[in-house]
Chains A and B, each alone.
Chain A
Amino acid sequence: DGGITQSPKYLFRKEGQNVTLSCEQNLNHDAMYWYRQDPGQGLRLIYYSQIVNDFQKGDIAEGYSVSREKKESFPLTVTSAQKNPTAFYLCASRTGAASYEQYFGPGTRLTVT
C-alpha cells in the first residue's frame, strides 16, 4: 500500500531532551510538510520541503529542525529549545504538480513532562 507512515504513534520524553519524529512516504511525492496541532486548534505549519536537500521554515519553526536527505524521508527533531513541545504532530506530502491535495500520515502524539 502506498502512503505516509509516522512513528511512533505515542512518544513520551522528559523536558530538556531532544526527540526525533519519523515521517516516511512511498508515494514518490516531491513536497513534504510538518504540522503541529494543539487541542481544539487547526494545524500550524512547522517546516516544509519542496525537493530533496531543501526545506523552508513555516509559521512556527522555532525550536524545531528538519532534514531532507532522501525523497521518502522528512524527519522532524523537537529540540529542548521548543517551549511547549507537547502536541499532535502531523506529516503530509504532495505530488508537487497541479493537485493541491495533501496526503497526511496518522500523526505522532508527543508528551513532554
Chain B
Amino acid sequence: LAKTTQPISMDSYEGQEVNITCSHNNIATNDYITWYQQFPSQGPRFIIQGYKTKVKNEVASLFIPADRKSSTLSLPRVSLSDTAVYYCLVGRQAGGSYIPTFGRGTSLIVHP
C-alpha cells in the first residue's frame, strides 16, 4: 500500500487560498487519490478524488502532476469553518477490495 506524507499542520486566514500537498512516492499505476475532511468528534467527509491532472468540484480542486508522486488539495477562499484535519489517501480496488490507508492528516487552522 502506498504511504502518504502530509504536513502535520498549516495556518491560514479567512479569504485566502490554501494548498495542502501530499507526497505518495510509491503510488501504483492503478491507485486513486482521495481527500477527506474531519472535524473533531465526527466522521471524515469525502472531499474529492482523482487519478491524474486536475479535478474540480464545488468545494475544492485537486492537482496531480504527471508523475503522480504527489497531489495538492486546493481550498479557495477558506473560512473559519474550514478549520479541520485533512487526510490524503491512496488506494485501489484489488480483487473487489478497496483498503485505503489513512495517515495522520494535516490540521488546518483558519484565523480571522
Taking beta carbons and an 8 Å cutoff, which residues of A are in contact with B?
4, 31, 35, 40-45, 48, 50, 56, 58, 88, 90, 92, 94, 96, 99-107, 109
Contact partners of B83 in chain A: CB under 8 A: none
Asked whether B34 lies within 8 Å of A42 as measured between CB atoms, the reply is no
Closest-by-CB residue of A relative to B33 is: A100
Tell me the complex Cα distance, A42–B105, Å.
Answer: 6
Tell me the complex Cα distance, A48–B96, Å.
Answer: 12
Tell me the complex Cα distance, A41–B34, Å.
Answer: 18
Tell me the complex Cα distance, A100–B97, Å.
Answer: 11
Asked whether A90 lies within 8 Å of B34 as measured between CB atoms, the reply is no
Say if the beta carbon of B54 comes within 8 Å of chain A. Answer: no
By secondary structure, the A interface counts as: strand
Contact partners of A94 in chain B: CB under 8 A: 98
Asked whether A50 lies within 8 Å of B103 as measured between CB atoms, the reply is no
6 nearest A-B pairs in the assembled complex, by CB-CB distance: A104-B43, A42-B102, A43-B102, A101-B46, A42-B104, A100-B34
Asked whether B104 lies within 8 Å of A41 as measured between CB atoms, the reply is yes
Shortest B53–chain A CB gap in Å is 17
Asked whether A104 lies within 8 Å of B44 as measured between CB atoms, the reply is yes
Asked whether A92 lies within 8 Å of B43 as measured between CB atoms, the reply is yes
Contact partners of B46 in chain A: CB under 8 A: 101-103
Work out how many contacts link A and B, with CB atoms closer than 8 A: 57
The answer to whether residues A104 and B105 also contact, given A31-B98, A50-B97 and a CB cut-off of 8 A, is: no
Shortest A63–chain B CB gap in Å is 20
Tell me the complex Cα distance, A4–B46, Å.
Answer: 14
Shortest A103–chain B CB gap in Å is 7
Asked whether A90 lies within 8 Å of B43 as measured between CB atoms, the reply is yes
B1-32 interface code vs A (CB 8 A; 1 in, 0 out):
00000000000000000000000000000001
Say if the beta carbon of B87 comes within 8 Å of chain A. Answer: yes
Contact partners of B34 in chain A: CB under 8 A: 100-101
Say if the beta carbon of B61 comes within 8 Å of chain A. Answer: no
Say if the beta carbon of B70 comes within 8 Å of chain A. Answer: no
